[in-house]
Structure 1
Amino acid sequence: MSMSTHDSQKVSISVADPSALGLLGLAMVTFVASSQKLGWTVGLSFVIPWAIFLGAFAQLIACLYDFKHNNIFGATAFGGYAFFWFGVASSWLIKLGAFGPALAAATDVRQLGFAFLGYLIFSLFMTIGAIETNKVLLSIFLLIDVLLAALAADAFGLSHSAHTIAAWTELAIALFSFYGSGAVVLNTHFGRTFLPTGKPLGIFK
């Protein structure tokens, strides 16, 4: 007599929280980019690598691992802003003539204005979701809203102060993101609240 058994196993692969890497990427690109907007540094040539590798690729990696975490909010946020920085870096390369003089001569900054407006719409509904994360993340999203609104206004030539507002807001995003990244790493590493991030507001949950 023969007996056959059918055993099924589920293998769970543990994946660490990728938000520390994603926030570091956001922190680094906004830190470097804000230095140019504030006039502390000159030119975009050395901003572009940080936009591509930290702003774009680091956040894209965080996005992919957040999908593995089944974290739709984190994955969409990191993925969305990763491609934002791919787009911004490509726009800078076109402006600087990296793809030839014909493309550089045909640029219309108002198209960037529409891109910033589109991302502002995206950022606004992500900000609603951030209300139920923690206060550090909520602060970052609120600052991103201000940044995108200021960048759009500057691109459309609607405000003389928009560029300055964008510059200081971008620097604030960098500082909050550094703190958020450090909080994720150290709170997880020590198994306790080493750097507080603030409880969710609890409006929608």
Structure 2
Amino acid sequence: MERSIKDTTANPAPLGLLGFGTTTLLLNLHNAGLFGLNDMILMMGLFYGGFAQIIAGIQENKKGNTFGATAFTSYGAFWWTLVGIWVLNKAEYLAADSVALGSYMFVWGLVTFIFFIGTLNGATIGKIVFGTLTILFILLGFHFVLESALFGKLAGFVGIICGSSAIYEAAGLILNEKYGKQILPL
């Protein structure tokens, strides 16, 4: 007799997308010049951007979703490393210079571009999230390497679109499932 196992676990993607989207949105409101870097952004980076995304990545792994597991876990770790860099730089302990910070952003741009390619056979909103995130990391790389306020501000506006798109995708996944029909197109 063959057994069938039904997966009744919830979709972890909305949690990961909200952790990513809200933290990205807040950081890029800062990058756009609306307010300074502060403890609110650091705490969001540690807990919602970091911890919640890693939980979502582990849950995606249990569901057999390599893309979701790798993306959420990677960006959760990104937030933890970014907060660590900010804290160590503030303490002037092994402080990264502008070329090192730019290189960090360019490397994350490369990682993100790989994920972007992975979205090309999926929903439009995923392409928007990862496409704008790739551009965001490239702009941040130039911002740091060239020490250019203009690239930083441009990155802020692209990041606002990116974070908002991730929040929209999460809302679509939650509401479409909850109502059993398409409330928000993805």
Give the TM-score range, shorter chain.
Answer: over 0.9
Pairwise mapping of residues 16-165 of structure 1 onto structure 2 (< 5 A)?
A: 16-97=10-91, 101=92, 103=93, 106-157=95-146, 159-165=148-154
Q: Post-superposition shift, 1:43?
A: 2.9
Kept in 2, the 8 Å contact 1:29–1:54? The answer is yes
Segments of structure 2 that go 5 or more residues without pairing to the other structure are none
Residue 171 of structure 2 corresponds to 182
Percent sequence identity is 24
Question: What is the TM-score when the length of structure 2 is the normalising length?
Answer: 0.92
Distance 1:70 1:112 in 2: 34
In structure 1, give the amino acid aligned to 2:129: I
Residues 132-151 of structure 1 deviation map (CA, whole Å, 9 limit, x = unaligned): 12001110100001100011
Q: Post-superposition shift, 1:78?
A: 0.8
Kept in 2, the 8 Å contact 1:36–1:43? The answer is yes
Question: What is the TM-score when the length of structure 1 is the normalising length?
Answer: 0.84
Segments of structure 1 that go 5 or more residues without pairing to the other structure are 1-6, 198-205
Q: Post-superposition shift, 1:94?
A: 1.2
Distance 1:69 1:132 in 2: 20
Q: Post-superposition shift, 1:167?
A: 0.5
Moved over 4 A (4+): 7-13
CA RMSD of aligned residues (A): 1.8
Q: Post-superposition shift, 1:131?
A: 1.1
Distance 1:112 1:152 in 2: 7
Residues 68-119 of structure 1 deviation map (CA, whole Å, 9 limit, x = unaligned): 111111111111111111111111111222xxx4x06x43232121111111
Aligned residues: 186
In structure 2, give the amino acid aligned to 1:131: L
- The range that moved more, 155-164 or 41-50, is 155-164
Query: Which structure has the bigger radius of gyration?
Result: 1
Distance 1:43 1:84 in 2: 17
Distance 2:9 2:34 in 1: 39
Residue 161 of structure 2 corresponds to 172
- 1:137/1:45 CA distance change after superposition, 3 Å: same
